[in-house]
């Protein structure tokens, strides 16, 4: 895969099919946040975050295929390297096409893109990409909403999830949502009262990184999955 910052790079992708349901399977492509604190891919190459770990479990239980990609693999990046992060939305767009061509058991009419934090921002960036794929819907969990551009008509609904106590203050996402709704775009913001950036509901604002959302306010586990699941990890 390639993006404009790193050029062509191998990206580990873990694709898992559910035990429940039957083909064609709807597909969720998931982008981790800046801290890959979740499970390691089957085979030991690639890691995602805790949000993706939990989302995978829920998605498989509902009959979705789940594809997690490790956008930081072999790049020497740390969570604080904000300005050096790859354009993960470009990886997701390419991966969608690759998976649909390679796996006919995936439902091309039902493909979803989701991500957390940095991954949530990658999801939001699809709103401003003229080459955005024909997603069925997008879900951005805790994006900073720091990209502000003139909204264009959207072909799919977008859900933004925010904690009211996030150190990436909700006001930016509130403004973005309002601008899209003003032109009739199906963008919705859902707030989790008392939750911080990690949805922990402990009501504490944390400062574990560089805030880059441009708001007026500033603030100086592993899960084992059943062996019967059809899981594969490949380098694209």
Q: Which of these ranges, 39-43, 156-160, 206-210, has the smallest mean pLDDT? A: 206-210
Other Cβ atoms less than 10 A from the Cβ of 178: the count is 12
Q: Find the helix or strand (DSSP H, E) in which 90 lies.
A: helix 88-102
| Residue 51, pLDDT score | 93
Percent of the chain with pLDDT over 90: 58
Is the pLDDT assigned to residue 115 strictly greater than 60?
yes
Specify the higher pLDDT residue, 78 or 112: 112
- Tell me what the pLDDT averaged over the chain comes to: 85
Cα distance between residue 149 and residue 8, in whole Å: 28
Structure tokens at 119: 């991954």
Highest averaged pLDDT of the listed ranges 58-67, 70-79, 145-154, 200-209: 58-67
Structure tokens at 168: 């990436």
Using 50, 70 and 90 to split pLDDT, how confident is the model at 18? very high
Specify the higher pLDDT residue, 21 or 175: 175
| Residue 147, pLDDT score | 75
Q: C-alpha distances in angstroms, 51 versus 1, 98, 197?
A: 24, 24, 11
Q: What are phi and psi for residue 59, nearest 5 degrees?
A: -65, -45
Is the pLDDT assigned to residue 1 strictly greater than 50?
yes
- For 82, the domain range is 2-235
Using 50, 70 and 90 to split pLDDT, how confident is the model at 227? very low
Across the beta sheet with 12-17, what order do the strands follow? 187-192, 158-163, 137-141, 106-116, 25-31, 65-69, 12-17, 230-235
Q: The CATH number of the domain where 135 resides is what?
A: 3.40.50.1820
Burial of 204 from C-beta contacts in 10 A (0-12 / 13-18 / 19+)? exposed
Other Cβ atoms less than 10 A from the Cβ of 186: the count is 13
| Residue 214, pLDDT score | 46
Using 50, 70 and 90 to split pLDDT, how confident is the model at 15? very high
pTM of the model as a whole: 0.86
Is the pLDDT assigned to residue 170 strictly greater than 70?
yes
Is the pLDDT assigned to residue 124 strictly greater than 60?
yes
Is the pLDDT assigned to residue 223 strictly greater than 90?
no
Is the pLDDT assigned to residue 27 strictly greater than 50?
yes
Cα distance between residue 86 and residue 196, in whole Å: 25
Give me the mean pLDDT over the 66-70 stretch. 96
Please count the structural domains in the chain: 1
Give me the mean pLDDT over the 135-152 stretch. 91
| Residue 40, pLDDT score | 93
How far does CA 203 lie from the centroid of its chain?
Answer: 24
């Amino acid at each position: 895969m390639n993006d404009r910052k790193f050029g062509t790079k191998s990206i580990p992708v873990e694709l898992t099919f559910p035990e429940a349901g039957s083909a064609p399977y709807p597909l969720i492509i998931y982008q981790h946040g800046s801290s890959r604190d979740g499970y390691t891919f089957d085979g030991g190459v690639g890691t995602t975050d805790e949000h993706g770990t939990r989302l995978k479990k829920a998605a498989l239980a509902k009959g979705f295929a789940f594809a997690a990609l490790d956008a930081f693999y072999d790049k020497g990046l740390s969570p604080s390297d904000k300005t050096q992060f790859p354009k993960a939305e470009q990886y997701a767009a390419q991966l969608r096409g690759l998976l649909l061509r390679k796996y006919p058991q995936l439902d091309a009419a039902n493909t979803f893109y989701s991500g957390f934090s940095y991954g949530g921002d990658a999801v939001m960036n699809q709103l401003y990409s003229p080459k955005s794929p024909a997603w069925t819907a997008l879900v951005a969990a805790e994006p900073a909403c720091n990209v502000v551009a003139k909204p264009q008509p959207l072909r799919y609904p977008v859900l933004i999830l925010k904690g009211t106590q996030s150190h990436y203050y909700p006001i930016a996402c509130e403004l973005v949502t309002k601008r899209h709704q003003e032109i009739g775009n199906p963008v919705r913001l859902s707030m989790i009262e008392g939750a911080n950036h990690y949805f922990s509901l402990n009501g504490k604002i944390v400062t574990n990184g560089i805030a880059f959302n441009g708001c007026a306010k500033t603030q100086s586990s592993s899960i084992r999955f059943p062996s019967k699941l059809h899981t594969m990890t490949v380098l694209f």
